[in-house]
Structure 1
Amino acid sequence: MSGRSDQPAPVAPDDQVIARAAVLIRHWTGMTFGENKRYYIERRLVERMAKTGIAAPAAYLDFATYMPGERQELINAFTVNETYFYREIHHLSALSGHMLPSIVRHRVPGDLIRIWSMPCATGEEAYSIAIWLLENWALVDAFNIEIVGSDIDTAALAKARDGHFSQRSLARLPEQIRESYFEIEKGHQRQIIQDLRESVRFTPANLIDPSSVEGLGSFDVILCRNLLIYFDDDARKRAADLLYDRLKLGGYLCLGHSESMKNISDRFEATRLDDAIVYRRP
């Protein structure tokens, strides 16, 4: 179903529809949008209504509820994909300087090390991990490193696999890094080299839906940054349990700079590594 010029224009959602949409999004994703986000919700509903050609807001929500494809499109419209390369670089420094050396102390060369970037948005974080380790960890070639990027936004994942990035995304990368790991600029974008595109696996996942991650296995390090701030308390606790279950014993979890497990879960052990506070599964 798609919008056509001869179809009626979408009707602006009323308060009841806005509230219902917020409840559905929270139920599907864990993300909470309060009254101060009314315009944010309304704009995204109207955009999807125009795309589907459904003019009545309540009818559109019924359609999105019972049609998985449109539900995913609506979820994609609500996600916040604010990201860039080498964001919160202190975690990358702690990864190569402390976390991985601690992990491989009990491994032998050739062993598998698994790192999960969730949410990965359009891929900058997952690719940043790969680049950082190639540049900063001397043992990068001694171990079999698997990097998995996941997100609830399937459109963002498609962009991540494609690997084209704007100058804004690349702004914090040293020139030498841009020249070594990205193709020549075309149309104000640069594509990450094929070897790196093939080195990171991208897959959909939902932190409040355990069934969505059952096939991913467990990880030595998880970066889950700047997501829990969008969740309510119940969703944060559910996400924390899922993250704990996905970590190997002794594995590390990195949260965003404004996030903490302090009032969410007591299952993790907080550890300070230089400028980074990380959480470990005991």
Structure 2
Amino acid sequence: MATATGAGLTDADFARFTEYFYKRTGIHFATSKRYFVDKRIETCIRNSEFDTFASWFAALRMSDKQAMLQDLINQLTVNETYFLREDYQFDAMLSTVLPNVLKARGGVSRIVGPVKILSLPCSTGEEPYSIALRLLEEWDQIDHVDVEIHGADIDSDVLDKASHASYGERSVQRVPKAWMNKYFTSVGGGRYQVDDGIRSAVTLHKMNVCDTAAMRAFRDFDVVFCRNVLIYFDELSSRRAAENLYGAMRPGGYLFLGHSESMSRISPIFTPTRLPEGLVYQRPTGAK
């Protein structure tokens, strides 16, 4: 394994690299992120068999070097999360969105197929597991309705952590003590393991929201959480992501974005809907 003392990118190298990464992921890095990108590339070179940016980048672009690309994606994506984050949106899901979903689908006694919920990006799993916890503890229809919860992310490292579902003190600081005692086990070193029942309630997928072909595997979701990812995309990638999310949802389905994000600035295909707890976006019921 070669040792790299620095990425050694010229301005031209940086431009070539960011154009390549954008085409592969939809994520755009401005020159203001130059230091961050350089440092992450340095780490990738250090983890590889190459000792210069030129040789590493040439190999990266080869079709048989998918492991290198995944390592790069893992280095350059930010995964900051914790349990019950922005929980006012979970409140909205329980008090307004899910009752509306059940009503639109004929009511509890007539609903056909599961209620499907997607968390994308799911990062290390705190969000989809939070959804499972809130449903189990607070939704009065959970014993009468089949629910599928799916989590997806572009980063294979965080998906591996999500599958193991072991978390530190900071991640679980907002979880009520009673829930900790019921659903978590202390495994030492200030870490807590989510129990098998919660883990088995969530299906994990590796997915890039900008990959239109791959996103076709996702269909008929009633509720989608896509929080704090569109801010990393430019206008074109944001629009593509919005269209892919639209295609993944059932007509009338609900989309939650991060508090600093607005679909109205990206695409008109979703209908903004004001709920008591805040703003959500819907795929129109008559849409095809």
TM-score scaled by structure 2?
Answer: 0.93
Which aligned pairs between 1:54-203 and structure 2 lie closer than 5 A?
54-66=50-62, 67-105=65-103, 106-109=106-109, 111-203=113-205
1:27 correspondence with 2:29:
no
CA RMSD of aligned residues (A): 1.4
Whole-Å separation in 1 of the counterparts to 2:93 and 2:135: 8
Whole-Å separation in 2 of the counterparts to 1:88 and 1:98: 16
Match of 2:223 in 1: 221
Deviations 1:218-267 (A, max 9, x none): 20000000000000000000001011111101100000000011121111
Whole-Å separation in 1 of the counterparts to 2:43 and 2:21: 16
Instruction: Report the 3-state secondary structure (helix = DSSP H, G, I; strand = E; otherwise coil) of the residue aligned with 2:260.
Output: coil
Cα shift at 1:22 = 1.5
Contact 1:21–1:41 at 8 Å: present in 2 too? Answer: no
Deviations 1:113-146 (A, max 9, x none): 0000000000000100000111111001111100
The runs of at least 4 aligned residues of structure 1 exceeding 4 Å deviation read 7-11
Instruction: Report the 3-state secondary structure (helix = DSSP H, G, I; strand = E; otherwise coil) of the residue aligned with 2:174.
Output: coil
Instruction: Report the 3-state secondary structure (helix = DSSP H, G, I; strand = E; otherwise coil) of the residue aligned with 2:185.
Output: coil
Deviations 1:151-177 (A, max 9, x none): 000111010001001111011111112
Gaps of 5+ in 1: none
Aligned residue type for 1:50: R
Instruction: Report the 3-state secondary structure (helix = DSSP H, G, I; strand = E; otherwise coil) of the residue aligned with 1:184.
Output: strand
Identity %, equivalent residues? 37
Cα distance change of structure 1 residues 121 and 159 upon mapping to structure 2, 3 Å threshold: same
Cα distance change of structure 1 residues 235 and 11 upon mapping to structure 2, 3 Å threshold: closer
Match of 2:45 in 1: 49
Gaps of 5+ in 2: none
Contact 2:26–2:233 at 8 Å: present in 1 too? Answer: yes
Instruction: Report the 3-state secondary structure (helix = DSSP H, G, I; strand = E; otherwise coil) of the residue aligned with 2:61.
Output: helix
Cα shift at 1:80 = 0.7
Whole-Å separation in 1 of the counterparts to 2:117 and 2:85: 17
Match of 1:241 in 2: 243
Whole-Å separation in 2 of the counterparts to 1:93 and 1:276: 10
Cα shift at 1:9 = 4.8
Match of 2:263 in 1: 261
Instruction: Report the 3-state secondary structure (helix = DSSP H, G, I; strand = E; otherwise coil) of the residue aligned with 2:280.
Output: strand
Instruction: Report the 3-state secondary structure (helix = DSSP H, G, I; strand = E; otherwise coil) of the residue aligned with 1:215.
Output: coil
Cα shift at 1:212 = 1.7
Contact 1:64–1:74 at 8 Å: present in 2 too? Answer: no
Instruction: Report the 3-state secondary structure (helix = DSSP H, G, I; strand = E; otherwise coil) of the residue aligned with 2:70.
Output: helix
Whole-Å separation in 2 of the counterparts to 1:8 and 1:153: 24
Instruction: Report the 3-state secondary structure (helix = DSSP H, G, I; strand = E; otherwise coil) of the residue aligned with 1:108.
Output: coil
Whole-Å separation in 2 of the counterparts to 1:214 and 1:189: 37
Contact 1:11–1:55 at 8 Å: present in 2 too? Answer: no
Contact 1:112–1:143 at 8 Å: present in 2 too? Answer: yes
Cα shift at 1:11 = 5.0
Contact 1:252–1:278 at 8 Å: present in 2 too? Answer: yes
